[in-house]
Structure formats: structure tokens, C-alpha cells
Structure 1
């Protein structure tokens, strides 16, 4: 009689105990049982390595799956389950035109094969924050992206399943406010005023402000060819909890060609706190 304990656990790489019970006769017609205990380690059949990259407002998750067994693994499912504040899209390389037009391929899509003894396969997902898709700007401070659900079969049809722990992204630096440029004129004429449309949003449940908006001077001493036209500091009233206000900045360009709008800074006059300037924005300045 052989019994195997704790084999229903989904955790791999842990020490297990195998109990073997031997039945024997000692010569007195009395049956006796002699238990034997053996310890062994359940090896993980595959490993998952992840890497997270952020490019502007796009977050990319790369998952590298490596086969540690002596059998080929057919991946039935490698699905990323995003956290509630994220949506995920798997990115695939362009298929060959013959494969793309094949009716057979539409009916039967073979699973991904990861070969035995160290074979690997990479999956790439593009993640988008729910606030970017809905237009809602309230940001959750959590950096949890989600987890992977993986199922596979061996050549003999034996199945396996693995669920990863929560995958973490870049820590989110929570800001009380969010300042963005939402509209720039299609045509900017040299030495003619134009309006830059901006939106300021509170990302906290308390009242913040009032604020001042201005163009900061850089330490590099770089000359600016796009500047504020008129009053140099724009005063904005306080913002209520998660409130939003739209406003315009009157600008003027003094040189032709591609120019940069840089150094737009907002300052909380109550907290005496200046936030990081907005990223530079390039515009084209025409003569007519």
C-alpha cells in the first residue's frame, strides 16, 4: 500500500512526504505493517519570468515561459488576468498571409509548443489604465498589474496548471493634482498670439489650491522662442474634491519652424509647493 500526502497542493518546489506501508508475515501467521517514510521535492515543471516596461502612457508586460521537464509542453492557455484598474491586449507578430487566409487555421488553432529541456516562449501584453479609456482621471495608487493563468498538456495528454502571484508594475507616485494640455491650435503664426487649452484635475478627496500657472526658467539658460503673452502668472481658484477646471494660456511664438513649449509649471500657493513642469510640447510656427 502506498499513499502520497499533500499532492493536491498547487505550490511547486516544496518538500513532500511519501509513505510506503509494507505488509509482511513474521512466521506466526500474524500480518504486520511496516511504514517507511521518504522525502522528496516536487520540481516546478516550468518557470515564468516577467518584465514590465513603461513607454509614455503605455505599459508593456513580457512573460518568458521556460520548460524544465523532459517532455514537450503544449500550452493550452496563457492568459493574463489584469487588475480591475487595467485592461490587457496580447500582442502577436504578423502572421504569414497563407496562414492568415487558411480556413483550416480558423477551425483548428494548434497550441503553442514549448520544447523539452529548457525551451522558452515569450508572450507580450499591452496594458492600458482604465482611466485612459474612460476619460476618468482618478488614479488608484496600487501598482498591481494582475496575474497569469497557465494550463498545458504533455505529449501523453497529462495536464498541468499554474497561477502566478500578482505581478507588480512601477510604483505609482500619487499626485494631488494632474495638469494636462488638451488642445493646441492646428496652425501657429509667427508673432501672433494663440491659446493653449489646459485642464487641471484634483486627484484627492480634499480641497487643494489656489494655484499659480507660469513658465519656469531653466538653469541651462536656454532661450525660449514660445512664451506667455501678457500677464506672466495665471491665478486659478481652489479645486474641490476630485474637481476639474479648464483654462487657457495666451502664448506667442517668436521664431519660425519647429519650436518647443517648455517649462509650464503649477504652484500651490497654500502649500507653497511647486509641481514638476509639464513635458515639452513641439509646435510648428509658420510665417502666414
Structure 2
């Protein structure tokens, strides 16, 4: 079984179960990425020996035992450089599994190309490129917001910041700001400022982008979460 978590990065979890009557030694489990992605295995233990697996030095699976392997895939630099927006179904790679039985017999399984269904962003994709994890109550902080034109036509955009959301974060700055024209597949980075007003885990919401050509407004809420804490130390 494998699971794919959708975002700009792809996190793939491979779930492997030993359904044989005896224990098996997991000799090799890897993800061979497709030509569009780079792959980083997330199965090594932290510490001095980065090559040691989180499962320990003895890499055995007993009958009916299940083990999860996790991998992170990111688009290659040339794909990012071309401002390519992943749409539709794309190949992400193959999982290669090699094992041995307790009698030394060798087995191998390689999946067909696993596919990712890219999330539907619509005409405009909004991501936060920089945002803090935590902020002191009643202080301001900056984020960097990236706007990408995912459609096949040029858009003329206006940015509106709404503070009528039930959130502990308030936008500051000019609302109704003209962003100008944005060509297809191009992106624009904006530095925006918020003030933390309520402690706890708060969500960045209330960003509205209007396409002046079609008079259509795109609403973007729950872009990220920020923890607001009360620094009461003197």
C-alpha cells in the first residue's frame, strides 16, 4: 500500500507487509523517482550514524508484520526554473523492494510507475514561501506570499486583505493594492505584514485576489498556521 500527500512537495508512504509464513530480511527498499523529481528518503535515524535505518540494525520482518517507508519528492531545479505548474496526472517513480528469506532465497518486487494527481488550484495558486512558526503576542511579523497564474491567459490582479475573519491575526498595510498583469505560468512574490492579537494556534486567512479582466475574485483562507504566545517574562 502507498499513500501520496498532496502539496508542492510529494510525501509518499510505502507500507510493506510480510505475508509469508516465515521471517524475511529487507535487503533493499528504495524509490526510483521519475525524470521530473528528486527523491530524499526519510527512513534514516538521526544522530551520529545517519546511514542507520530507523528500524534498527537487524532489518527483519516477522510474518504479518507491517513497516512504513517514507520518501519526499520535490520537482527538479529545471522544472522550478521554468515556473512549470504540475497539472493533471504525472508519474513520480517506482518502488523497488528486495528481500531474502531465512533460507537465503532472494525475492524482488518493483511497482509500475506510481502516479500523482496534482491538486486543482484553479486559475490562481497561492503559497506561503516564508512564514514564522511562532510569534509573540501583540507583535507584527512578515510573510512572503507567492501568487502563480495557473491559467492560459494573462491576468490583471488586485490584492484585498480582509480582517473580518474570526482570527487572532490582523493584516496591516494597503488593501486594494494593484498588482498589475501576470502572464501565464508566471509568479509574483509579495511581502505582507500581520499583527498577532490572540494567543494560541492561529490561521492566516482573508486574502482575496481579483482578476480585473473577468471581475472574478478568488478567496484564499487557511494558508498556514502560526502559534501566538504571550511572552510575560520581564
- Between the aligned partners of 2:57 and 2:195, the Cα distance in structure 1 is 59
Q: What is the SS of the residue equivalent to 2:93? A: strand
Alignment-derived partner of residue 41 in structure 2: 90
Q: Residue 124 of structure 1: which of 62, 65, 69 is its match?
A: 69
Alignment-derived partner of residue 217 in structure 2: 274
Alignment-derived partner of residue 222 in structure 1: 166
Q: How far 1:260 sits from its partner (Å)?
A: 6.3
Alignment-derived partner of residue 93 in structure 2: 146
Alignment deviations for residues 188-214 of structure 1 (CA, whole Å, 9 cap, x no partner):
99799x97654433344x332111110
- Between the aligned partners of 1:62 and 1:163, the Cα distance in structure 2 is 15
TM-score w.r.t. the length of structure 1 is 0.56
CA RMSD in angstroms, aligned pairs only: 4.5
Q: Is the CA contact (8 Å cut-off) linking 1:261 and 1:280 kept in structure 2?
A: yes
- Indicate yes or no: 2:172 matched with 1:235: no
- Classify 1:96/1:274 alpha carbon distance in 2 versus 1 (closer, same or farther; 3 Å): closer
- Classify 1:163/1:247 alpha carbon distance in 2 versus 1 (closer, same or farther; 3 Å): closer
Q: Is the CA contact (8 Å cut-off) linking 1:147 and 1:166 kept in structure 2?
A: yes
Q: Is the CA contact (8 Å cut-off) linking 2:84 and 2:185 kept in structure 1?
A: yes
Alignment deviations for residues 245-269 of structure 1 (CA, whole Å, 9 cap, x no partner):
34455x5759587876530111212
- Between the aligned partners of 2:176 and 2:153, the Cα distance in structure 1 is 21
Larger Rg: 1
- Between the aligned partners of 1:225 and 1:62, the Cα distance in structure 2 is 34
TM-score w.r.t. the length of structure 2 is 0.67
- Indicate yes or no: 2:7 matched with 1:50: no
Q: Is the CA contact (8 Å cut-off) linking 2:30 and 2:96 kept in structure 1?
A: yes
- Classify 1:180/1:89 alpha carbon distance in 2 versus 1 (closer, same or farther; 3 Å): closer
Q: How far 1:133 sits from its partner (Å)?
A: 10
- Indicate yes or no: 2:111 matched with 1:164: yes
- Between the aligned partners of 2:117 and 2:178, the Cα distance in structure 1 is 34
Unaligned runs of 5+ in 1: 1-48
Alignment-derived partner of residue 69 in structure 1: 20
Q: How many residues of Structure 1 are paired with residues of Structure 2 in the alignment?
A: 221
Q: What is the SS of the residue equivalent to 1:200? A: strand
- Classify 1:208/1:131 alpha carbon distance in 2 versus 1 (closer, same or farther; 3 Å): farther
Alignment deviations for residues 26-45 of structure 1 (CA, whole Å, 9 cap, x no partner):
xxxxxxxxxxxxxxxxxxxx
Q: How far 1:134 sits from its partner (Å)?
A: 7.7
Q: Is the CA contact (8 Å cut-off) linking 1:178 and 1:202 kept in structure 2?
A: yes
Q: What is the SS of the residue equivalent to 1:128? A: strand
Q: How far 1:71 sits from its partner (Å)?
A: 4.1
Alignment-derived partner of residue 78 in structure 1: 29
State the structure with bigger RCO (CA 8 A, min sep 6), 1 or 2: 2
